[in-house]
Structure 1
């Protein structure tokens, strides 16, 4: 397998990803903690903060709303979704929301998307699409519609004034450059290739599909998907890819934190030993330890060798103090060990 030109180069961009967990009996503190975490990421010089998208769960269901708030409490850090499942969205309405958020943030938005039927679709179909559930298009076409609107393709044949109302053919506002900052969360070789053909950026995470019965490990499969994406992308090796493993540095962790982090990773290790379920999902092991050890393990990871930007995922269920310690060690220990430098100013 050919080595990507960025292999061995310093890490250029370091970000983090969070689910934004909250107490359903009192949801405000959890949302506020997420906003403070994004603010802290900017203070530490991190490049990006990403929110997962959770429906009918106790994680952030509306990243656009939360990131709009974050855009007014930060000035530099880039803001992303990883990922928004388009099966829950109307592409026209989402284009309006994304463009508005991008304008509010000063062009800092990185929308991450995926397609496919909504999770547990049989349970939510009647609430989500009571009249059109059997004919909704959950294919790549949904992304193409969204991209068209973001790029200024007509959403209506009419433009002009009717009475005192003025109408545009295009989604408003139009935010220059936003379409070029759209990412696709690919889980398979086919979706990675499609994302490349569409000139999208690629988000690769700690979950993907086994392509065959070869027994190849997670890192090898991820590397193959990144190679396939770049081979299909007009920019080739210059096409952007961000990796999103769960990485937990313990340099400044207390003994209690270290024990809990290690127990968390151990509780999820069994699922990484073989593909899981009918979809044959592969899960990457969570990486926990001192930054010097983590840097060595990452440099040996075939997927990491092909990227120069990452958005490491924070574990779902830890406390704000834990996230503060992890982010601080990412910015002050692990990032520099990988050749990254914090953004100043």
Structure 2
């Protein structure tokens, strides 16, 4: 099955044990990786978003910079934490970025992961508990989606600074197709169904709720199937997209073997996140020679269900090594699996 292939980067920088040591270098190499990925035929450049951390924060300047340096690659997030967002400011930022990038934004949103500080959204001026913010994050998402529809809502000034047509105003610049390129990061079947009901594409990572004793890829595939069924029932007027993320490390050189052949997580793992009462299951890393990886990936049910796959890249190993990983996947793995 033909698939869109993207990379997912955290954009880390750190002083020790990293080839990327500063924020400036991290952002510059993120743009450069998107440029090189486009040359390789990669379909998407996607970035994690975390606050109070030595990695990518607000994504919009980076996305706009990539848009200015590329022509066709999708530019996505995995994902923007709605606990921190003002939906009005967010809508204006995202639509501006989408216009600048010729409608290539693929925006992943969600409640987000544990951050580096306690209740970090409070520093943004939102005085809510973790339990309260869960529902508020969803409410903000729905308001954000409403704003993207472009319906006028703001009462015009009787004496505006600039001439304008009569009637209510909407946020500008308006991007009419962006509302179809919003993704919800779902960790369970229930949240996947909720995303489908509200017309968002589905983004599923290497971590989902441990809802059965089945392997990770089977549980995730069931989540994608539940989403598709709910989408069909909702009757939306456009086709949805589904995405999974995988850590794939091909071993084709001595350096690859030194870095990843031993000590990698090659089995699913069950554990707990800070704010989760229920266990979660983490998908394994796929590590091995290309022929071996082709066989293993062909048996991954969630990859079969999804139309888009993101490859996590180890950003701290630097631009050249990440290009090497993507080139190997695009040359030795993707064609053999029928992804390209």
TM range (shorter): 0.7 to 0.9
2:248 maps to 247
- SS state at 1:11 partner: coil
TM-score, scaled relative to structure 1: 0.86
The CA distance in 1 between the partners of 2:258 and 2:42, in whole Å, is 26
- SS state at 1:233 partner: helix
The CA distance in 2 between the partners of 1:45 and 1:63, in whole Å, is 23
1:35 maps to 31
TM-score, scaled relative to structure 2: 0.87
Number of residue pairs matched by the alignment: 323
Q: Deviations over 1:287-329 (max 9, x none)?
A: 1122222221111111112123211111354232220110111
CA drift at 1:336? 1.1
1:5 maps to none
Contact 1:51 1:80 in 2 (8 A): yes
CA drift at 1:93? 0.4
Match of 2:229 among 228, 231, 240: 231
Extract unaligned runs of 5+ from structure 1.
Answer: 1-9
Residue 324 to residue 123, structure 1, CA distance change in 2 (3 Å): same
Contact 2:32 2:319 in 1 (8 A): no
Over the residues paired in the alignment, what is the CA RMSD in angstroms?
A: 2.4
Contact 1:99 1:178 in 2 (8 A): yes
1:192 maps to 192
What pairs with 1:242-321 in structure 2 (closer than 5 Å)? 242-251=243-252, 254-263=253-262, 266-269=263-266, 272-277=268-273, 278-321=277-320
Match of 1:133 among 123, 128, 136: 128
Deviates more, 1:195-204 or 1:25-34: 25-34
Match of 2:144 among 140, 143, 146: 146
Q: Deviations over 1:87-130 (max 9, x none)?
A: 11101100000000000000100000002697367442542226
CA drift at 1:141? 1.4
Match of 1:11 among 2, 10, 18: 2
Residue 336 to residue 150, structure 1, CA distance change in 2 (3 Å): same
Extract unaligned runs of 5+ from structure 2.
Answer: 16-20
Q: Deviations over 1:123-153 (max 9, x none)?
A: 42542226x4357653421111000111113
